Amino acid sequence: SVNEVEALYELFKKLSSSIIDDGLIHKEELQLALFQTPIGSNLFLDRVFDLFDEKRNGVIEFEEFVHALNVFHPCAPLEDKIDFAFRLYDLRQTGFIEREEVKQMVIAILMESEMNLSDDLLEEIIDKTFDDADADRDGKINKEEWKAFVLRNPNLLRNMTLPHLKSVINSYFQYCTPNLVFLIDPLALSYLR
Amino acid sequence: MAGYLPFYEIDIPTLYKKRIQIEGIKKHPWFKKNYLPVKPSDEEVNLDDVRAVFDDIEDQYVSEQSVAKEGGPLMMNAFEMITLSQGLNLSSLFDRQQKLALLKFDLLRHFTSLQCISLLIMVYWLVVADMDYVKRQTRFVSRKPPRDIISSVEAVAESMGLKVHTRNYKTRLERISANKVGEFAVVLEVFEVAPSLFMADVRKASGDTLEYHKQFYKNFCTKLENIIWKPTEDVANPSVLRSLTC
């Protein structure tokens, strides 16, 4: 219903006007929303922003916002969530999650709590993970290995679902209401603007 | 004009006492002029955070792979660690914390049009100083056996006047004041990240964030010095100079 779309649009409006009031979400605005400060840089924020910004024009428009958030809906297919997470962690977009990329990400998460682990400890952590995830032992995780790994460790996808989305937009997404195929209609969106 | 800066103080705690809270700013005549208040509409108290930390998180983590040998702590692989990132936690888009941050930023935008330097400094302090603590996550690493980590944590917490409640490798530290106001609680959980390498994830479960970072956490880590892992050689990295491993 229109009310529910408006609710999502309200969120978009709030985020997109927080620093630069232009109806578009800039990276600093997403940073402010996730970190409560627009200062500093974060690898994961960069990845999330890039995946939301499908058109690669440096800003997140409303259609892109909704399209990406779609994946986080509780009723969205697991396949979509697994795929999104894979693309998130495939830093250089090579189609594989390489060991170096995992190392970079582990260093980044530790930096969030200002921890600086020694190289050999980092290697220990990654060794253990790759033992588990890298089935063909080629030093990188391909899509199939990732899928199998996630199915064995479902909590890996816990940040890929936003239960809040269900209460904010219930029947908007097609997944929860199979009899109501609600696709993003550009005309409907321009009405909201 | 007054001959001295309004916020020139020798030490930070005194400077902090000089802070005006948001309510004070809202009442100030400068502020009221041309101001359209941000609607603090749905005051939904988000208990998901609290519940998730103590109740559900254990269930979420448990999978056949996760439960370690001989009832040790839960295992955490590199990707599970990565999902702890704030940058990957989009639920904060709906958070109350975030609304407060946006309000602060809104204030800053209004104040930048004023010529009054002292107000600018005041807002800067309100905005930047608070935000620095809010974004920081807290965890540490240890090579000590997990049972020792937990017992050390319990001992230190008790010495700080906190009540302790432990279940497996998760412990809740609590201080309940006489009038039940300002209850302060912290949850700490130990995970195995590699053979003989453990990580303690520490989170505030309730209470003031600033108190958690300023008064509790630094003190807590100092007392746990002997179990917290520290780098042995000096790494030629400027960020190490100011960072604590805690």
Chain B: nearest CA to A53, how far in angstroms?
15
pLDDT, position B210: 83
Burial profile B139-175: b = 16 or more Cβ within 10 angstroms, e = fewer: bbbbebebeebbebbbebbeeeebeeeeeebbbbbbb
The number of folded domains in chain B is 1
B173 located within any domain = yes
Band of pLDDT at residue A48, cut at 50, 70 and 90: very high
For strands B184-194 and B170-175, give the pairing: antiparallel
Q: Tell me which amino acid residue B80 is.
A: E
Instruction: Spell out the domains of chain A, with CATH numbers in brackets.
Output: 1-72+162-192 (1.10.238.10), 90-155 (1.10.238.10)
B160 located within any domain = yes
B2 located within any domain = no
Q: By residue range, what is the domain housing residue B151?
A: 139-227
Band of pLDDT at residue A123, cut at 50, 70 and 90: very high
Band of pLDDT at residue B182, cut at 50, 70 and 90: low
CA–CA separation, A131 vs A141, rounded Å? 11
Burial profile A91-128: b = 16 or more Cβ within 10 angstroms, e = fewer: beeeebbbbebbbebbebbbbbbbbbbeeebbebbbeb
CA–CA separation, A113 vs B133, rounded Å? 11
For strands B184-194 and B74-75, give the pairing: parallel
Q: What is the pLDDT of residues B140-159, one digit of tens each?
A: 999 999 999 999 999 999 99
B148 located within any domain = yes
pLDDT, position B111: 60
Angle between helices A78-89 and A99-112 (to 10 degrees): 90
Q: Do B131 and A39 touch (CB under 8 A)?
A: yes
Chain B: nearest CA to A187, how far in angstroms?
26
pLDDT at B38 over 60: no
B152: domain CATH number is 3.30.310.80
If we measure between CA atoms, which residue out of A13, A15, A66 comes closest to residue B98? A15
Band of pLDDT at residue B213, cut at 50, 70 and 90: confident
CA–CA separation, A134 vs B186, rounded Å? 36
pLDDT at B62 over 50: no
Q: Tell me which amino acid residue B21 is.
A: Q
pLDDT at A188 over 90: no
- Token pair of B142 as six digits: 């240890």
Q: What is the pLDDT of residues B84-106, one digit of tens each?
A: 998 899 988 876 555 555 666 66
B133 located within any domain = no
Lowest-confidence region among A112-121, A169-178, A179-188, B29-38: A179-188
Of all residues in chain B, the percent with pLDDT exceeding 70 is 47
CA–CA separation, B29 vs B136, rounded Å? 34
Count of CB atoms situated within 10 Å of the CB of A51: 15
Phi, psi of A155 (to 5 degrees): -70, -10
CA–CA separation, A88 vs A47, rounded Å? 6
Q: How many helices (H) and strands (E) does chain A have?
A: 10, 2
ipTM of the shown complex: 0.84
Q: Do A112 and B136 touch (CB under 8 A)?
A: yes
> B42-51, long-range: CB within 8 Å, 24+ apart, which pairs?
B43/B96, B44/B96, B45/B96, B46/B94, B46/B95, B46/B96, B48/A163, B48/B91, B50/B205, B50/B206
B36 located within any domain = no
If we measure between CA atoms, which residue out of A62, A25, A129 comes closest to residue B83? A129
- In A16-172, which ranges are E strands? 97-98, 140-141
- Token pair of A65 as six digits: 């916002």
B169 located within any domain = yes
Chain B residues closer than 8 Å to A44 by CB: 82, 85-88
Band of pLDDT at residue B65, cut at 50, 70 and 90: very low
Q: Do B82 and A125 touch (CB under 8 A)?
A: no
pLDDT at B175 over 80: yes
CA–CA separation, B148 vs B143, rounded Å? 10
Chain B residues closer than 8 Å to A21 by CB: none
Select the residue from B51, B93, B105, B232 to test the A interface by mutation, using most A Cβ atoms within 10 A: B93
Select the residue from A12, A32, A107, A109 to test the B interface by mutation, using most B Cβ atoms within 10 A: A109
Select the residue from B59, B64, B88, B91 to test the A interface by mutation, using most A Cβ atoms within 10 A: B88
Q: Do A89 and B82 touch (CB under 8 A)?
A: yes
B185 located within any domain = yes
Chain A residues closer than 8 Å to B88 by CB: 44, 48, 88, 159
Q: Do A113 and B137 touch (CB under 8 A)?
A: yes
